[in-house]
Structure formats: C-alpha cells, structure tokens
Amino acid sequence: MPIVGGTFEGHGDLDVRGHILPGGADEQIIHDDGLTEADARYVLETDRGALVYVRNRGLRHAPPDVMAKLLAGVRVDPALVYFRTVPTFETSAPELQMLTRSIFVGSGERYPSEVVLRFWRVS
C-alpha cells in the first residue's frame, strides 16, 4: 500500500511537526483469519527541514466480522481492533537524536481514507 503523504506532530520532550513525504510503502501480509502483519517505511520532513526515516512494524486483528468490514473499507470503531506497532527512527538531525536513542510503541486506527498512528516513548 503506498504512503502518499500526511502530517505529524510531537509533544512534550519532542515539540516538532511536519509532513510525511510521498513515496513510502506499507507492506502487509493478511492471513486468512484477518490477522495483518504490517511493515511500513516512510520519511518525515519537519517544518525546519530535517528528515526522519521511519520503519514501523505492527499487528492488527479483530473478530472476523469486524475484520471483514475493515478490509472492505467500512468504518469500524477502533476500540474493536487491536492495532499496535513498534516504530524505529533514523535521522542525522542533532535536535532529533532522542528518536534514535529511545524505544517507542504505537497504537493505530484505520479509517476508510486514512490511518492515524500515535507513538509513545518508553521511559
């Protein structure tokens, strides 16, 4: 699945924002029971011009009827879907090195026209 753009913002220790560059991809293995293994790779560009390469691997699953709707592009309540990720970041920007020196976990929500991801730094 192509990643064609989007926006991001950080809070707390990492006050940063910017956009997702087009050209990334989310490779998925969707098992017969609906379990999805995702491996997304894309690049962020901060509003100050710094680049961050992201590799985000995760799992998504739900009861069969919910997965059928989700995979058909129907909006479902995100609380019914287990969608968790583990992102890693690469950047040469000195002000963003915290990204490369920390462990993060994420939670996702898939909607018919977008995916919303939230990441937390494990302290």
Task: Give 123's pLDDT tier (boundaries 50, 70, 90).
Answer: confident
What average pLDDT does this structure show over 107-112? 94
What's the whole-model pTM score?
Answer: 0.91
Per-residue confidence (pLDDT) for residue 75, from 0 to 100: 94
Task: Give 62's pLDDT tier (boundaries 50, 70, 90).
Answer: very high
**Alpha-carbon span 6 to 119, nearest angstrom:** 15
And the tokens for 81? 């879907």
Residue-wise pLDDT tens digits, 4-21? 999 999 988 889 999 999
**Does residue 34 surpass a pLDDT of 90?**
no
> Phi-psi bin for 9: left (phi > 0), alpha (psi -120 to 50), beta?
beta
What architecture (CATH level 2) is domain 2-121?
Beta Barrel (2.40)
What is the residue extent of each domain of the chain? 2-121
And the tokens for 91? 């950047």
